[in-house]
Amino acid sequence: MEARVEFTLGQLADHLGADLKGDPQRLVRGLAPLQEAGPEQLTFLVDGKYRRYLPDCRAGGVILKPDDAGHFAGAALLVRDPYLAYARVSHLFETRPAAVPGIHPTATVAADARVDPAASIGPYVVIEPGVSIASGTVIGARCFIGARSQIGEGGWLAPGVTLYHDVIVGRRVVMQSGAVVGGEGFGFARDGSRWVKIAQLGGVVIGDDVEIGANTTVDRGALADTRLENGVKLDNQIMIGHNVQVGEDTAMAACVGISGSSKIGRRCIIGGAVGMAGHLEICDDVHFTGMTMVTRSISQPGAYSSGTGIQPAAEWRRSAARFHQLDDMARRLQQLEKQLVLRQVDDKPPCSEA
């Protein structure tokens, strides 16, 4: 059994660069939600609507903004951004078992594959010819790494990840179970009533510090490569079509679908279930809210939405019925505007004679 992880509040304050209110020797042995945390646990407050729970909070310490310090009588770590501080301290309490370097005896590794001795290759992994796996990378059980693929230092592939051939992966890349990278893109040409498949000749290039969620798919390019630049974060069950390019530090929530050859800028935030048509260009710093249907290119940063928000069902049905009347209403409005203009002309007094 592994040793119990524990830190003093003083150690955590030093790690975060936080101001400490309270006993620096108090021990913390885990993290918990604000309403559930006990005396040996650390918690945090981000949203002011939960401030009302602070007086009854039993946590050994709370990560707070300085402005909230007066609302909690116990120990606190005071920082500018509590959520960011929580993200950083969470890694100190990571429970994932440490990987053991080396190749499991049940793994199948091609003779010419280059696997660094400090990498960890799990049970029943298949590594095809020409593959390169760098130091510190962990390949979980039953992963498949296709021919000529490359994986950089410090990556982690959870059990059951599939990389097709010619996939280039940067450093510190995380892929969750069920992710498929480099599958054939959806490309077909019409021959009368039949479809002719287009060979997908490109690959996939993934930058450093990218994360790909469970059951997310990234298709290979048809000719050029599909690209995910440094820092891209993809949630679960996302579909990235062939030849898509995603800029640095862009993040996508679950169930997003990006059609082929679209180009997405840097630092974009794409909400859950957003759908994007193909061959579009999205500039930097765009935020699409959940379930937005993107049908045109975006050249100005900002937030964009489509669809309608939730309503009681009866109200929504009335609104939906009115959608079908909009064209008729627009035509009638144009007619009224024309009649108003004509009436104003008719009512205009004649010019007096000189």
Helix (H, G, I), strand (E, B) or coil at 16: helix
Beta bridge partners of 35: none
287 noted as active-site residue: no
Number of Cα atoms under 13 Å in the Cβ half of residue 68: 26
215/279 Cα distance (integer angstroms): 24
305/297 Cα distance (integer angstroms): 14
Give the helix/strand (H/E) hosting 323: helix 313-323
User: Helices 9-16 and 82-90 sit at what angle, rounded to 10 degrees?
Assistant: 110
Instruction: Write the DSSP symbol of residue 119.
Output: S
Beta bridge partners of 287: 269, 303
Compute the radius of gyration of the chain from its Cα atoms: 28
Are the beta carbons of 121 and 142 closer than 8 angstroms? no
Beta bridge partners of 177: none
Q: Which of 71, 104, 242, 279 is catalytic?
A: 242
Question: In 3D, which of 98, 90, 99, 129 has the Cα closest to residue 113?
Answer: 129
The set of catalytic residues is: 242
